[in-house]
Amino acid sequence: MGTYEKMIRRTPHDKAWYEGGLYHDNMPFNTPSFWFVSWYDVSSSPNIELFNHVRKNAKDPKVRDSQYLVIAPTLHCAYTRATENTVVGQRSVGDARLNYDELITGWFDHWLKGEPLKQMPRVRYYTMGSNKWQTSEVWPPASTVMTPYYLDSKGQANTLNGNGKLVTKKPSKDNPDSFTYDPLNPVISHGGNVCCTGNAVQGGAFDQQEMEKREDILVYTTEPLAEGVEVSGFIESTLYLSSDVKDTDVTIKLIDVYPDGKAYNLDETIQRVRYREGYDKEVFMEAGKVYKVELTPMSTSNYFEKGHRIRIEVSSSNFPRFDRNLNTGGKNYDESEAKVAHNKIHHSSQYPSSIRLPIVKTKK
């Protein structure tokens, strides 16, 4: 049995994941580190969170203070491919060049030769939309405020032509949005945060409008923004779901919608519902019962210009970026039959489905 065959048989809490080279939170970390992250890499959020974890938990204060981070608007390991007009997927994000050779050489000269470390920011990050490098002492930037936007609709948020909205107040009445998820006809990945997928998925920002014509994608959008908004940090999301199957997935994409309708993806996430209470146990659903599902955080730094809109897409698949859930409650890897799921997303004062955005508050 090969490595892949062994890995797909492991549950998320299998002890084998805790062996070998993978890092876990209870392990010591006592190495000065220079972290490089890409907004369109597969592991942006985990790498940034690990940077924060080491800054907080390294035993040696000098090590905690010797952690630096650069976040670029590129694909996996494509930092030096940035140009005067950096295009990631289909979206131009401006001049994103940085002198990486100078940064990295200076880092190693300091630690290997004892030369003084040139003064540099703790965190250097690129904000798409405004297309500029920014700096911060912490991540997220200290001026961010987690701001909730609630899902709302008249029960027909399907497609970009539906009535799904993102609003700042909880809707009072529950008008759940229904969609059918067929594992044999999944939502196909269109751009995104990927690594090493060959021709299966082309990473980056792509216009999602054609995808948003699918009935199995729920679309929730703000009104056009009266003024520009910078979102920089971790994006948190909570959905309230009911279904007629014992297990399914829920997915979210964060989108920047331009005045002409172009809808560029920023990040995406997924949650297998059987693990909503933790990855150490499987808890299956009862038909028709509403469940709270917290999704793993997304990350970005994006400036939504005046007149743009903030959008999320909700579905149950994003394939092959993420493996399909066959909705059976089984192991999936050894099954040939799938179940069609009829899923509902609830949103009301009782079921406040929401996305929480780290909005940078500027001084006026």
The full 3-state SS of the chain, as one line of letters, equals CCHHHHHHCCCCCCHHHHCCCCCCCCCCCCCCEEEEEEEECCCHHHHHHHHHHHHHHCCCHHHHCCEEEEEEEEECCCHHHCCCCCEEECEECCCCCCCHHHHHHHHHHHHHHCCCCCCCCCEEEEEECCCEEEEECCCCCCCEEEEEEEEECCCCCECCCCCCEEECCCCCCCCCEEEEECCCCCCECCCECCCCCCCCCCCEECECCCHHHCCCCEEEECCCCCCCEEEEEEEEEEEEEECCCCCCEEEEEEEEECCCCCEEEEEEEEEEHHHCCCCCCCCCCCCCCCEEEEEEEEEEEEEECCCCEEEEEEECCCECCCCCCCCCCCCCCCCCCCCCEEEEEECCCCCCCEEEEEEECCCC
The pLDDT assigned to 363 comes to 65
Q: How wide is the angle at C-alpha 136 spanned by C-alphas 50 and 109, nearest 5°?
A: 70
The pLDDT assigned to 20 comes to 79
Least trusted range by pLDDT, from 5-9, 63-67, 205-209, 311-315: 5-9
Given 91, 117, 136, which residue is the final one in a domain?
136
Assess whether pLDDT exceeds 80 at residue 21.
no
Residues 175 and 112 reside in one and the same domain = no
Confidence band of 18 (pLDDT split at 50, 70, 90): confident
Question: Tokens 């909700």 map to which residue?
Answer: 314
CA distance 129 to 92: 9
The pLDDT assigned to 364 comes to 58
Residues 17 and 154 reside in one and the same domain = no
Given 101, 116, 136, which residue is the final one in a domain?
136
Contact between residue 50 and residue 84 where contact means Cβ atoms under 8 Å apart: no
Which residues, including other chains, have CB under 8 Å from residue 231's CB and lie 6 or more apart?
300, 301, 302, 303, 304, 310, 357, 358, 359, 360
Residues 86 and 218 reside in one and the same domain = no
- Phi/psi region, residue 308 (left: phi>0; alpha: psi -120 to 50; beta: rest), is beta
Residues 156 and 109 reside in one and the same domain = no
Which residues, including other chains, have CB under 8 Å from residue 226's CB and lie 6 or more apart?
306
Residue type, 224: P
Which residue range(s) make up the domain with 41? Answer: 3-136
Which residues are 67's β-sheet partners? Answer: 33
Residues 155 and 222 reside in one and the same domain = yes
Which residues, including other chains, have CB under 8 Å from residue 61's CB and lie 6 or more apart?
none
Of 358, 360, 359, 355, give the one whose Cα is nearest residue 148.
Answer: 355
Q: How far is CA 279 from CA 15, 120, 303, in A?
A: 12, 39, 34
Rounded percentage of the chain residues whose pLDDT exceeds 70:
99
Which residues, including other chains, have CB under 8 Å from residue 107's CB and lie 6 or more apart?
34, 68, 117
- Which CATH number fits the domain that encloses residue 70? 3.40.50.1820
Residue 305 CA from chain centroid, whole number: 21
Contact between residue 236 and residue 333 where contact means Cβ atoms under 8 Å apart: no
Q: Could you give the number of structural domains in the chain?
A: 2
Residues 204 and 303 reside in one and the same domain = yes
Residues 150 and 125 reside in one and the same domain = no
Assess whether pLDDT exceeds 90 at residue 349.
yes
Confidence band of 52 (pLDDT split at 50, 70, 90): very high
- Which CATH number fits the domain that encloses residue 168? 2.60.120.260
Confidence band of 1 (pLDDT split at 50, 70, 90): confident
CA distance 334 to 91: 39
Given 136, 165, 199, which residue is the final one in a domain?
136
At residue 355, φ and ψ (nearest 5 deg) are -125, 135
The pLDDT assigned to 25 comes to 84
Assess whether pLDDT exceeds 90 at residue 55.
yes
Residues 176 and 300 reside in one and the same domain = yes
- Structure token digits, residue 343: 């899923």
Residues 64 and 162 reside in one and the same domain = no
Rounded percentage of the chain residues whose pLDDT exceeds 90:
91
Q: Cis omega before residue 140 (within 30°)?
A: yes
Residues 130 and 157 reside in one and the same domain = no
Q: Does residue 1 or residue 346 have the better pLDDT? A: 346
Residues 132 and 148 reside in one and the same domain = no
Reported as a single tens digit per residue, the pLDDT across 267-280 is 999 999 999 999 99
Residues 259 and 328 reside in one and the same domain = yes
